[in-house]
Structure 1
Amino acid sequence: MLYNAKVRFDFIKHRNKFFLFSVILTLVGILSVSIFHMNFGVDFKAGTNMDILVGKKLTQTEAKDVLEQQGYSDITPTVGGTNGDRVSARFDDVLDQSKVKAIEDAFKAKYGDKVSSEVNVVSPDIAQELGIKAIYAVIIASVAIMLYVMIRFEWRMALAANIAILYDAFVVVTIFSIFRLQVDLPFIAAVLTTIGYSINDKIVIFDRIRENLRFAKTKNADQIGDLVNQSLWQTMARNVYTVLAVLIIATCLFIFGSESIKLFALAKMIGLASGAYSSICIAAPLWMVMKSKQKPSTKQVAKKAV
């Protein structure tokens, strides 16, 4: 056949295993989000976030002691930065200027006048508005991508691609929910960019499937499955290299980046891995299942009758 390629692994043959694994992971994610909820950061939950640069290396215990002296015994700060001299603390209350200054003065009293702070305050109304807009952003992006794929290809490919990219986004949500990682605006940016990278892989695969369909005479599910397998392996190297290139960059950001960008990079890494998996193991096999159930057109029936 014109689309012949070396098939090293039959993805279509094992499609039910991939579907089952994906369904189980989705159910785990739904249970985790329902029971434990998301660990929303200050962007989506009213409160105050303080980043304090003390200019000297300190431990988490030392930072916690300073906060306890100011009456914040329930706050667990994180210590990071290049030299371990940056303290990040999140307060559930909206702190006024006097309370912020009192905390900064307490660190200055212990570590010197070089202490500086960056304060991010979000009111309840703004937090709610940001949460709603984030949901709208994901929905609008998904609908726009589905319409684009439907216009360029066909509705089955659009539906399969959209199911797969929503799965990718939910995998990121699931991991962050299970491990109680903080969800903030960079997280939403990571989810949206994950959707963009993920749809790119799927379009490459569907474009090759469409090209191969022009030269193939597919009559049953087995022939369609063989065509999909061939198409997957024809595009495998391109998809793997593309994902690896971005994954290496995201990994470098996670290892060498600042504390504020680490969770963004981690979400990107999870989304890229999930996107590569869903393109091959969900989107293409799902299209094959829907295509194989397609009823023959009137012209095809007439040709068979002749």
Structure 2
Amino acid sequence: MRFKKELDFVHLSKFFYIFSIALTVMGLVFLATFGLNYSVDFKAGSNVDVALSKNITVEQIRSAISGIGIDSEPTITQGNQRVNIRYDEVLTDIPDAKLKSAILKLDDKASFEINTVDTEMAKELARNAIYAVLISCIGIIIYVSIRFEWRFALAAIVALIHDSFVVVAVFSIFRLEVDLTFIVAVLTIIGYSINDTIVIFDRIRENLRFGKQKTYEDLKLLVNKSVSQTLMRSLYTAFTVFIAAFFLLILGGASIKMFSLAMVIGLLFGAYSSIFIASPLWLLLKKRQKVSVKSNPAKI
């Protein structure tokens, strides 16, 4: 199945550029104002996950644990017979024992999972997460520049940054928790996004070899043709992984909820950016090259 030749992806990309710019600006505003809702993985503190055998209200839990000797007010999130209690300071042995004792009085069958991160470890995890994303982007730039050309590399990186930032922006806007699985999801999204982009770029390069493009309109037709030829393959690949991530989000456990949600968002925007951002951006860079060469005939 192929789309009709008259479908102008390059023209449609102008509207998607506006949408992406608006979303980016809104994301920057929220990040500058509210930042990210970091989990205990990225800031010092203790995270207590409690599995209950009966329904207990947040008010009951808050009242029961109010006298354990911790100054900071805990953040309590309730799920289906599960409660998450997060402190911004590390629980020592005595408050830890008091907290368990207080909750066991409400439910003697409750079970606990406590994760604690100190300040230095939190800083190291955050630093390593940033390094992981930066190194992956640098590696992609080097690979695509060697395999294709720098214009393809620049367009691909802009698309990757767009996809990653959209996921970060959505998590900031809706105050969703950012943990280590979120970083894994972002790196996975980068992998799928570059795969879709490279498939389209490879077809553009192949069509460039067998065609004679003398004007911008020739290049525009070539990009539209290349996207049409690879569109269904890209959509099928993204949709297949999207279905798996979606059902993980719906049916998976609490520990992978944020990973699955980040994957769902990233896969949707990854497929969209490969078609409407990366390819038209390469065309814009190529157009500037042709204009430069035309204005300086001595370069030919």
TM-score (norm 2): 0.92
SS in 2 for 1:77: strand
Identity of aligned residues (%): 48
1:215-234 equivalent positions in 2, closer than 5 A: 215-234=210-229
Structure 1 residue 30: Cα displacement: 1.2
For residues 198-225 of structure 1, the C-alpha deviation after alignment (integer angstroms, 9 at most, x for no partner) is: 0000000001111111111111111101
Provide the residue aligned with 2:119 in structure 1.
124
Q: Is the 8 A contact 1:6 1:230 kept in 2?
A: no
SS in 2 for 1:90: strand
Structure 1 residue 293: Cα displacement: 1.6
- The ranges of structure 1 where at least 4 consecutive aligned residues each deviate by more than 6 angstroms after the TM superposition are none
**1:88 equivalent in alignment to 2:62:** no
**1:255 equivalent in alignment to 2:231:** no
Amino acid at match of 1:46: A
SS in 1 for 2:152: helix
Provide the residue aligned with 2:170 in structure 1.
175
Q: Is the 8 A contact 1:67 1:75 kept in 2?
A: no
Provide the residue aligned with 2:110 in structure 1.
115
Distance 1:269 1:66 in 2: 38
For residues 54-87 of structure 1, the C-alpha deviation after alignment (integer angstroms, 9 at most, x for no partner) is: 333334344333333547793342223xxx2221
Structure 1 residue 297: Cα displacement: 6.6
Amino acid at match of 2:257: K
Provide the residue aligned with 2:58 in structure 1.
60
Provide the residue aligned with 1:77 in structure 2.
76
Choose the corresponding residue for 1:14, options 7, 12, 16.
Answer: 12
Distance 2:209 2:293 in 1: 16
**1:23 equivalent in alignment to 2:21:** yes
SS in 2 for 1:142: helix
Q: Is the 8 A contact 2:167 2:262 kept in 1?
A: yes
Provide the residue aligned with 1:32 in structure 2.
30
Q: Which moved more, 1:161-170 or 1:11-20?
A: 11-20
**1:273 equivalent in alignment to 2:268:** yes
Distance 2:130 2:144 in 1: 22
Provide the residue aligned with 1:140 in structure 2.
135
Distance 1:252 1:289 in 2: 38
Amino acid at match of 2:160: I
TM-score (norm 1): 0.90
Distance 1:175 1:101 in 2: 37
Q: What number of residue pairs does the alignment pair up?
A: 295
Distance 1:247 1:159 in 2: 26
SS in 1 for 2:227: helix
Q: Is the 8 A contact 2:204 2:226 kept in 1?
A: yes
Structure 1 unaligned spans of 5+: none
SS in 1 for 2:65: helix
Q: Is the 8 A contact 2:69 2:95 kept in 1?
A: no
C-alpha RMSD of the superposition: 2.2
